[in-house]
Chains A and B, each alone.
Chain A
Amino acid sequence: MGNSQANVVKTGLPYRDSRVCCSYKNKIDDKVLFVNRVSFLGQNRSANLRKAQLRFCTKASVQSQPLPSDRDSGPLSSARPKSLDAVRLFVGLPLDTVSDANTVNHAKAIAAGLKALKLLGVEGVELPVWWGVAEKEAMGKYNWSGYLAVAEMVEKIGLKLHVSLCFHALKQPKIPLPDWVSQIGESQSSIFYTDQSGQQFKGCLSLAVDDLPVLDGKTPIQVYQEFCESFKSSFKPFMGTTITGISMGLGPDGELRYPSHHRLAKSSKIPGVGEFQCCDRNMLNLLQQHAEANGNPLWGLRGPHDAPSYDESPNSNSFFKDNGGSWESPYGDFFLSWYSSQLISHGNCLLSLASSTFGETGVSIYGKIPLIHSWYKTRSHPSELTAGLYNTAKRDGYAAVAEMFAKNSCKMILPGMDLSDEHQPRESFSSPESLLAQIRTACNKHGVEVSGQNSSVTGAPGGFEQMKKNLFGENVVDLFTYQRMGAYFFSPEHFPSFTKFVRNLNQLELHGDDLPVEEEVTESVHTNANTNIQVQAA
């Protein structure tokens, strides 16, 4: 194509695309949303009822909020449309959506991405809101402008928003704690978790300081609370309408756990057992008090002396040995009970704070539980133990956690829904599927609704299949958050399979027996939009 092309080269005509021609400016009505939405039978009606009674709060004055009324209606068979409960699909926005200068990163890409998601029939997006961004400079000095801009974008497109309040720091992309917190940490390193060898984890505050006035005279809980209040008043126009769910950051990566695995070497494919994080001064104080109260003051001097270190396997020291390990000894039980109960009361504290703050806004509150699946097939479950989840072959550690969630009327985010046993290295004695089942059972028992998430951002092998498995059948999930928008998400390697996944969900819907005949092709049943929930800590 010779000459004429030469001419075009020269002029560089700016015709780009065809979009400019349309000039509709209708606000999108989410009710017209046309594409797919997964619907299936909800099964925890009774659980919800029970939950209503269970709800109370220990710390703050928490109201018990009435449950969405449509859930209470009648037996499954009678009112079909109401009994169809949809898995609402959310997609996580990039972790660094809002930069530390409070501007929206890659705004154009996000705008295009939101439109694509909307057209695809996705319900909403999850937005990580960072402590280190919004309260970066000084205590009480909040800047929400970047996040507000995102909320507006989302609202304009007609999507829902699930906000994850993140009180932790992140390495990749680098999102630190607030500057003023880091400064305090420099002079007062005991606000951070410390392991046996004295190494500190500076990715979040130690739960031991929750109620100590270490932050310029305020306790971290107070600071978190004020953060939540400020968020609530700043986002008032969106609450309950665009913002349908908030998850409360509970620890490292937002999850309810100790940072027991933060120093794992990347080289090894088999994760080690991790380390107990109880050696900062304040933790040791608590342990000491607890030991004295139990009449064993010597047990309160330090953590277990025979636990392996981060990269090591359970058998490299005696604490986690399957037979006759110290974990089964009275000391072991003493320590592990204390260690895990500290975590649960930390979680309880934060979730009740969130429930009381956001209770009347019509949003659902979530907390995230880690899925620590390596060494699950051993008797001692060492990785879970170091993370603070006292779950062994002899003891169900998740019942107490679920109970705590139920108490606060919070829903539980479970990651790892894309992980299947067959793709785990055999030597890690791992079983994400069994662990997931165990936690879900605990939740069912306590009437805690579960919302799902995938763990691998770059796509676990067979991930989509596994997720589908986890979203149907007996598995009830009120919401699923797919992680996470970014270059890989939209790449030709990934996006088509994601689209297929979404359409597959739709396919299942279409072929479901319980669908009314008239919803044949592309419309979807929209039950309710607002009573919903989202998940996702970053």
Chain B
Amino acid sequence: MSTVTIRPLLPSYRRANLNFRDRTNILLKPNYINYSIKSAPNARRFCSFKKLQKITVSSSTSTSTSPATSTDTTPVRPGDVFFKETFPLKRTHAVEGKMFVRLQKGKDEKNWQLSVGCNIPGKWILHWGVSFVGDNGSEWDQPPKKMRPPGSVSIKDYAIETPLKKLAEGDVFDQVNIDFDTRSDIAAINFVLKDEETGAWYQHRGRDFKVPLVDYLQHDGNVIGTKSTFGLWPGALGQLSKMILKADTSQSGIQDSSSESCELKQENKHLEGFYEELPIVKEIIIENTVSVSVRKCPETAKTLLNLETDLTGDVVVHWGVCRDDSKNWEIPAEPYPPETIVFKNKALRTLLQPKEGGKGCSRLFTLDEEFAGFLFVLKLNENTWLKCMENDFYIPLTSSSCLPAESVQEMLIPGKAEEATQEVSQTAYTAGIIKEIRNLVSDFSSDISRKTKSKEAQKSILLEIEKLAAEAYSIFRTTAPTFFEEAAVELEESKPPAKISPGTGTGFEILCQGFNWESHKSGRWYMELKEKATELSSLGFSVIWLPPPTESVSPEGYMPRDLYNLSSRYGNIDELKDVVNKFHDVGMKILGDVVLNHRCAHYQNQNGVWNIFGGRLNWDDRAVVADDPHFQGQGNKSSGDNFHAAPNIDHSQDFVRKDIKEWLCWLRNEIGYDGWRLDFVRGFWGGYVKDYLEATEPYFAVGEYWDSLSYTYGEMDHNQDAHRQRIIDWINAASGTAGAFDVTTKGILHSALDRCEYWRLSDEKGKPPGVVGWWPSRAVTFIENHDTGSTQGHWRFPGGREMQGYAYILTHPGTPSVFYDHIFSHYRQEIEALLSVRKRNKIHCRSRVEIVKAERDVYAAIIDEKVAMKLGPGHYEPPSGSQNWSFVTEGRDYKVWEAA
């Protein structure tokens, strides 16, 4: 049983404009202060239980392992140790402190100063930008150079990061001062505070802090300053934030401020200084471990249990023993270890003995043989107890062989309980549906509504059936080894691959991602790309993926607002049609990048929350999922993960799906898109995707289902089946109508190439380890895109290894996608050579790959018996048998041959 830690793939990071949607207007709605979280400083202590290691040493083997419990006075004979385990002890420690925001006059009326400080020790960063007078959007801009304090770093073109520093020795607060000239046209200063140690963001009511410098920003619910008060929110990024701000805000202040703001409205450019303090709590995670080893003492027939931890200070073990599985605590007979007291006749409390050298403490317990288990919790002080997943630690004391299993079962119990709960709720849900159906049926007396009602009912039931079937399928398939992985593929293979199946093309597609993160900057990307159409086609690409076309709150297009407004930073609708026509002329298909998961609102609801849409699709808050508190949606709960920066669309609403289908069809017909690249499909159920794809019948479609691979101890696991399974599950939920980006393959390539671990490129069955190994015709392989690479670099492919990556995906099955930046770089010739190998040998998405080598320093495969390739510095030559192999191309650590 090993610990699987999910390591974040990406550094936490945010754009300034992500969070502006949540406009709670504090001035108008004073009761909103209730939203702030009250955090009791000492209430959160927990210890999560993970098995770090498990060593079971049977008495007949192993004389070499020397247990770590060497502080014992009794010599330990390894052969006697039958239980040894290290449990992690994780607790959060809350540090309380304050931050302040101060606006004050500087050296004269013209020069003012904004200061932000924080008195909790740590590495604090102010992430800030400004808004200029006349800016309508909520995007930030970079402040003028002279405003930037020394040490500032610019983040893209919209923000600055400035570290907080102690201004003088002995200062309590770390702070940063920003001087500015009131005569400039800066309308407001926006900021968030960032804790660089934990990556937590500290925002103001779920949004950025905003200090208005001109009055008309006052209506914006997020202002801070003058007499307004703070309402605090732990951050729009929800669980990401490790900081909790204590609720405070005074009722009176709010009322004041609303009147104040009215007055301010009439006065222009009148600044008033202010000073506000906000209590904040920073949660620090402290990780320790406790190790327990148990052995028999043959001389005394006693059980010796050694407990050892790296906790310091006075650590008390609150313990007892039990005789059976029921785990009833009881107190053993004396003698007890030194420094033990009996606590209320129910347990014993033993103080651990500091180890020599001061690193942690330990104690040896001698127990009678008759007991089955040792139960304990650790006590640091009256308020701090360390438990094992809310339970007592349980150490089995008998050495029979079934023990490890027992303790494993022990661990499973919480999980089981969870499952059971879910089970119940699901039953309840189905029962609910059935009840609704019954109501519908009994409603049939009303003749008029009857037909439509029953139709709706039938529809919703069919949808539910599909969902359940998908669920059942995914479980059956994983439990039954007969998974159709290659069976399905095999079936497909027997057909001639040239047949076009909806959504998945001919099988011979090669994609080009036709933009990067900076493409919006020129303002005429469509026209620039148009000039490259012929060139891209002649390189061998058959599909181009264009950037998201809709009006968007962020310039890159992924925060769409009015879906029917196709004026974006990439160009207007006519230019879009123009570029589409051009690509059609050169024989390429066009994928539209459609963002269906979320949509930015146009208006606020009565609570001041931005969740009412405008434009042609003027949805109301029923179109927004109900489970993101920031947007107060009235729809159903989300069918997937939430994207927190904008209202997530509730695809379970019929009107929403109808509108989206119409919109997609409009894009198909009006613009001429041939298919889709679906953004953030983790956000909603794949069955809806199927619905959309069936309605629009795209030539090709690919979804972005991106989540983290599994890591153990910071090392990527060899087996990424669970990861690719999640992607496959999504494809299945969409009934195979769309492919998905093969994130698994990218992740494995990272490790394999970067660390020279080419063995990773074969799974346990000797197939490619990514999605492409299981369902090649639905895998869209890639090594980089606008998020992972480009100027964002969230998960960049190992530098200098890109061509190896391309040598892999361009010779292997799956549908490869090549990133724009790489095509127009010094890699161009090598990519071109690989593209022509793929085309010449008619390698397609279902090509057969035979892995002939997967060793530490070399990977080699033969594809369709026509192309041989190797990666890595190790040696490989294709076999000189019946086939005659001739060398075609090579580069750094890769080489490709063709069958003659």
Query: CB-CB contacts of B421-435 with A at 8 A, as 1s and 0s?
Result: 011011111111111
Q: Are A119 and B637 in contact (CB under 8 A)?
A: no
Q: Are B10 and A10 in contact (CB under 8 A)?
A: yes
Residues of B within 8 A of A493 (CB): 484, 488
Q: Confirm or deny: A110 has a beta carbon within 8 angstroms of a beta carbon on chain B.
A: yes
In whole Å, how far is A458's beta carbon from the nearest beta carbon of chain B? 9
Q: Which residue of B lies closest to A495 (CB)?
A: B469
Stretch at the interface among B321-329, B456-464, B657-665, B763-771: B456-464
In whole Å, how far is B16's beta carbon from the nearest beta carbon of chain A? 10
Q: Are B479 and A11 in contact (CB under 8 A)?
A: no
In whole Å, how far is A112's beta carbon from the nearest beta carbon of chain B? 4
Q: Are B708 and A109 in contact (CB under 8 A)?
A: no
Residues of B within 8 A of A111 (CB): 423, 426-427
Query: CB-CB contacts of A1-21 with B at 8 A, as 1s and 0s?
Result: 111111111111101011111
Report Cα–Cα, A18/B467, bound state, in Å: 11
Query: CB-CB contacts of A136-174 with B at 8 A, as 1s and 0s?
Result: 000000000000000000001110000000000000000
Q: Which residue of A lies closest to B8 (CB)?
A: A10
In whole Å, how far is B415's beta carbon from the nearest beta carbon of chain A? 12
Q: Are A490 and B470 in contact (CB under 8 A)?
A: yes
Residues of B within 8 A of A116 (CB): 464-465, 468-469, 472
In whole Å, how far is B485's beta carbon from the nearest beta carbon of chain A? 11
Whether A119 contacts B433 in the complex (CB less than 8 A), given A3-B18, A7-B644, A499-B462, comes out as yes
Stretch at the interface among A23-31, A192-200, A281-289, A447-455: A23-31
Name B429's contact: one of A11, A12, A22, A485 (CB within 8 Å): A22
Report Cα–Cα, A17/B437, bound state, in Å: 21
Q: Confirm or deny: B556 has a beta carbon within 8 angstroms of a beta carbon on chain A.
A: yes
Residues of B within 8 A of A2 (CB): 15, 517, 556, 558, 786-787, 792, 794
Whether A5 contacts B787 in the complex (CB less than 8 A), given A10-B10, A18-B652, A499-B462, comes out as yes
Residues of B within 8 A of A266 (CB): none
Q: Confirm or deny: B643 has a beta carbon within 8 angstroms of a beta carbon on chain A.
A: yes
Q: Are B430 and A118 in contact (CB under 8 A)?
A: yes
Report Cα–Cα, A488/B502, bound state, in Å: 22
Q: Confirm or deny: B638 has a beta carbon within 8 angstroms of a beta carbon on chain A.
A: yes
Residues of A within 8 A of B479 (CB): 105-106, 109
Q: Are B430 and A8 in contact (CB under 8 A)?
A: no
Residues of A within 8 A of B455 (CB): 521
Q: Confirm or deny: A325 has a beta carbon within 8 angstroms of a beta carbon on chain B.
A: no
Report Cα–Cα, A1/B434, bound state, in Å: 39
Residues of B within 8 A of A486 (CB): 476, 480
Name B472's contact: one of A109, A120, A156 (CB within 8 Å): A109
Q: Confirm or deny: B287 has a beta carbon within 8 angstroms of a beta carbon on chain A.
A: no
Name A522's contact: one of B457, B468, B556, B706 (CB within 8 Å): B457
Residues of A within 8 A of B430 (CB): 28, 115, 118-119, 157
The B-contacting residues of A in range 62-96, CB under 8 angstroms, are 94
Report Cα–Cα, A130/B313, bound state, in Å: 61
Report Cα–Cα, A106/B475, bound state, in Å: 7
In whole Å, how far is A167's beta carbon from the nearest beta carbon of chain B? 25
Q: Are B434 and A5 in contact (CB under 8 A)?
A: no
Q: Confirm or deny: B239 has a beta carbon within 8 angstroms of a beta carbon on chain A.
A: yes
Report Cα–Cα, A280/B736, bound state, in Å: 53
Query: CB-CB contacts of B556-568 with A at 8 A, as 1s and 0s?
Result: 1010000000000
Q: Are B239 and A11 in contact (CB under 8 A)?
A: yes
In whole Å, how far is A138's beta carbon from the nearest beta carbon of chain B? 22
Report Cα–Cα, A25/B433, bound state, in Å: 11
Residues of A within 8 A of B72 (CB): none
Q: Which residue of A lies closest to B421 (CB)?
A: A20
Residues of B within 8 A of A115 (CB): 426-427, 430, 468
Q: Are A112 and B472 in contact (CB under 8 A)?
A: yes
Q: Confirm or deny: A433 has a beta carbon within 8 angstroms of a beta carbon on chain B.
A: no
Q: Confirm or deny: A487 has a beta carbon within 8 angstroms of a beta carbon on chain B.
A: yes
Q: Confirm or deny: B829 has a beta carbon within 8 angstroms of a beta carbon on chain A.
A: no
Residues of B within 8 A of A18 (CB): 636-639, 652
Q: Confirm or deny: A462 has a beta carbon within 8 angstroms of a beta carbon on chain B.
A: no
Q: Are A8 and B643 in contact (CB under 8 A)?
A: yes
Q: Are B434 and A118 in contact (CB under 8 A)?
A: yes
Whether A487 contacts B484 in the complex (CB less than 8 A), given A7-B240, A18-B639, A109-B475, comes out as yes
Q: Confirm or deny: B832 has a beta carbon within 8 angstroms of a beta carbon on chain A.
A: no
Residues of B within 8 A of A370 (CB): none
Query: CB-CB contacts of A256-282 with B at 8 A, as 1s and 0s?
Result: 000000000000000000000000000
Q: Confirm or deny: B454 has a beta carbon within 8 angstroms of a beta carbon on chain A.
A: yes
Report Cα–Cα, A274/B427, bound state, in Å: 49
Report Cα–Cα, A20/B432, bound state, in Å: 11
Q: Confirm or deny: B707 has a beta carbon within 8 angstroms of a beta carbon on chain A.
A: yes
Whether A7 contacts B237 in the complex (CB less than 8 A), given A22-B432, A32-B441, A34-B441, comes out as yes
Whether A496 contacts B428 in the complex (CB less than 8 A), given A9-B8, A34-B438, comes out as no
Query: CB-CB contacts of B101-132 with A at 8 A, as 1s and 0s?
Result: 00000000000000000000000000000000
Residues of B within 8 A of A489 (CB): 476
Whether A492 contacts B471 in the complex (CB less than 8 A), given A8-B644, A11-B238, A118-B430, comes out as no
The A-contacting residues of B in range 466-519, CB under 8 angstroms, are 468-473, 475-477, 479-480, 482-484, 488, 517
Q: Which residue of A lies closest to B735 (CB)?
A: A492
In whole Å, how far is B790's beta carbon from the nearest beta carbon of chain A? 9
Q: Are A13 and B642 in contact (CB under 8 A)?
A: yes
In whole Å, how far is B555's beta carbon from the nearest beta carbon of chain A? 12
Report Cα–Cα, A427/B465, bound state, in Å: 42
In whole Å, how far is A410's beta carbon from the nearest beta carbon of chain B? 33
Q: Are B792 and A108 in contact (CB under 8 A)?
A: no
Q: Are B12 and A523 in contact (CB under 8 A)?
A: no
Name A487's contact: one of B423, B464, B476, B558 (CB within 8 Å): B476
From A6, A12, A109, residue with most partner B Cβ within 10 Å: A6
Q: Confirm or deny: B640 has a beta carbon within 8 angstroms of a beta carbon on chain A.
A: yes
Q: Are A8 and B457 in contact (CB under 8 A)?
A: no
Q: Are B431 and A25 in contact (CB under 8 A)?
A: yes
Report Cα–Cα, A144/B615, bound state, in Å: 63
Name B637's contact: one of A20, A32, A106 (CB within 8 Å): A20
Report Cα–Cα, A499/B637, bound state, in Å: 27
Q: Are A11 and B240 in contact (CB under 8 A)?
A: yes
Whether A1 contacts B517 in the complex (CB less than 8 A), given A10-B8, A116-B465, comes out as no
Query: CB-CB contacts of B699-716 with A at 8 A, as 1s and 0s?
Result: 000001011100000000
Report Cα–Cα, A15/B641, bound state, in Å: 6
In whole Å, how far is B351's beta carbon from the nearest beta carbon of chain A? 39
Report Cα–Cα, A189/B682, bound state, in Å: 59
Report Cα–Cα, A13/B683, bound state, in Å: 11
Q: Confirm or deny: B824 has a beta carbon within 8 angstroms of a beta carbon on chain A.
A: no
Q: Are B640 and A9 in contact (CB under 8 A)?
A: no
Q: Confirm or deny: A233 has a beta carbon within 8 angstroms of a beta carbon on chain B.
A: no
Query: CB-CB contacts of A472-500 with B at 8 A, as 1s and 0s?
Result: 00000000000001111111110110010
In whole Å, how far is B102's beta carbon from the nearest beta carbon of chain A? 30
Report Cα–Cα, A1/B560, bound state, in Å: 11
Q: Confirm or deny: B451 has a beta carbon within 8 angstroms of a beta carbon on chain A.
A: yes
Name A15's contact: one of B638, B652, B735 (CB within 8 Å): B638
In whole Å, how far is A322's beta carbon from the nearest beta carbon of chain B? 37
Report Cα–Cα, A157/B430, bound state, in Å: 9
Report Cα–Cα, A82/B736, bound state, in Å: 44
Residues of B within 8 A of A158 (CB): 434
Q: Are A9 and B708 in contact (CB under 8 A)?
A: yes
In whole Å, how far is A520's beta carbon from the nearest beta carbon of chain B? 8
Q: Confirm or deny: A113 has a beta carbon within 8 angstroms of a beta carbon on chain B.
A: yes
Report Cα–Cα, A18/B517, bound state, in Å: 34
Report Cα–Cα, A108/B464, bound state, in Å: 16
Name B431's contact: one of A4, A21, A27 (CB within 8 Å): A27
Give 7 closest A-B pairs by Cβ, nearest first: A109-B475, A490-B473, A6-B10, A24-B432, A18-B637, A116-B468, A22-B432
Pull 11 A–B residue pairs with CB atoms less than 8 Å apart, ordered by A: A21-B637, A32-B437, A34-B441, A119-B464, A119-B465, A486-B480, A487-B483, A490-B469, A491-B488, A492-B736, A522-B441
Known contacts A3-B18, A20-B429; 11 further A-B pairs (Cβ under 8 A): A1-B679, A9-B706, A12-B708, A13-B239, A23-B425, A24-B432, A28-B431, A108-B423, A115-B468, A119-B430, A490-B473
